[in-house]
Amino acid sequence: MVATHNPGKLAEMRELLAPHGVEAISAGDLGLGEPEETGDSFRANAAIKAIAAAKAADLPAFADDSGLVVDALDGAPGIYSARWAGDNKDFTAAMTRIERLLQERGAAAPDRRSAHFVSALCVAWPDGHIEEVEARADGTLVWPPRGTAGFGYDPMFLPDGHTRTFGEMTSVEKHGLPPLGLGLSHRARAFVKLAEICLD
Ligand code: IMP
């Protein structure tokens, strides 16, 4: 089971789990509530979500806690990435807020606009044991946002070594998994690590 209520993430996690023969249903589909993310790190919040879902459903549960870390903003929005979009999940507003803060800090030049996505993954078994991995994808923030694919902050994020933002890539390109590569997105890279530990 995938302990998420975020449809964009659920779709990606299904794609990433399918090659391992793992079928996923979401915490939302099972009618489970969303635990409060009270941790102070991506890793801690992933564990809170996975452990709560595994206990509630008596099934192994995956959770991802992820977000965008902007260097010139001292790491914001970080673990608050979802919250910056507000209750109506307005990522245009969240990206506009990042851009305004970058401009206020004089971070207009590309070399001041570095950022990375982080994905912390946790698998929790009903018996209470857990596995945890974390990975990142490095890039630069562009303005205006480009592309309509993906979700969240994808249209603003240009991964290093690429000319198109995550918002301009298909999900297959965004994951960058074999045979295309060894993992491009933070979530795909974390899944590669997790697969080594416990999926195959
Ligand atoms: P949470 O992990 O559910 O607390 O939320 C993480 C938030 O980070 C998401 O709602 C997105 O805003 C953002 N985020 C995480 N991964 C991605 C991604 O792959 N693309 C774009 N935004 C992302």
Q: How far apart are CA 200 and CA 190, in angstroms?
A: 15
What predicted TM-score, i.e. pTM, was given to this entire model?
A: 0.92
C-alpha 67 – ligand 1 centre gap (Å)? 5
Confidence at residue 200, expressed as pLDDT on a 0 to 100 scale = 61
- The count of domains in the chain is 1
- Name the β-bridge partners of 121: 64, 133
112 in a domain, yes or no? yes
Q: What is the residue range of 178's domain?
A: 7-198
137 lies in a domain? Answer: yes
User: Over pLDDT 70: what percentage of the chain?
Assistant: 98
Tell me if 11 sits within 8 A of 171, measured CB to CB.
yes
**What is the pLDDT confidence band of residue 115, given thresholds at 50, 70 and 90?**
very high
Mean pLDDT across the chain: 92
Cα–Cα distances (Å) from 112 to 62, 73, 74, 84, 141, in that order, read 35, 10, 12, 21, 9
* Rounded-to-integer distance, Cα 4 and Cα 74, Å: 27
Q: Using a 6 Å cutoff on CB, does residue 121 contact ligand 1?
A: no
- pLDDT bin (cut points 50, 70, 90) of residue 22 is confident
- Residue 1 resides in a domain: no
- 124-148 average pLDDT score: 95
CA 61 to chain centre: 16
Contact in structure between 32 and 5 (CB atoms under 8 Å): no
Q: Please, which pLDDT band fits residue 17 given cuts at 50, 70 and 90?
A: confident
- Here the CATH number for the domain that contains residue 112 is 3.90.950.10
Structural domain includes residue 32:
yes
Substitution candidate for ligand 1 out of 66, 91, 117 with most atoms within 8 A of CB: 66
* DSSP strands (E only) in the chain: 61-70, 114-124, 130-141, 157-159
Asked if residue 3 lies in contact with residue 10, where contact means CB atoms within 8 angstroms, the answer is no
Average pLDDT over residues 110-137: 95
Task: Tell me, using a 6 A CB cutoff, whether residue 185 lines ligand 1.
Answer: yes
According to the model, what pLDDT value does residue 199 have?
65
- Give residue 173's pLDDT: 93
DSSP string, 77-107: BGGGTTGGGTTTT-HHHHHHHHHHHHHHTT-
Confidence of residue 184 (pLDDT cuts 50, 70, 90): very high
Residue 72 lies in a domain: yes
Query: 44 in a domain, yes or no?
Result: yes
Mutate to test the pocket of ligand 1, among 5, 9, 174 (most ligand atoms within 8 A of CB): 9
With respect to residue 2, please indicate whether it lies within any of the assigned structural domains: no
Residues 74-104 pLDDT 10s: 999 999 999 999 999 999 999 999 999 999 9
Q: How far is the CA of 146 from the centre of ligand 1 (A)?
A: 17
Tokens in use for 131? 């596995």
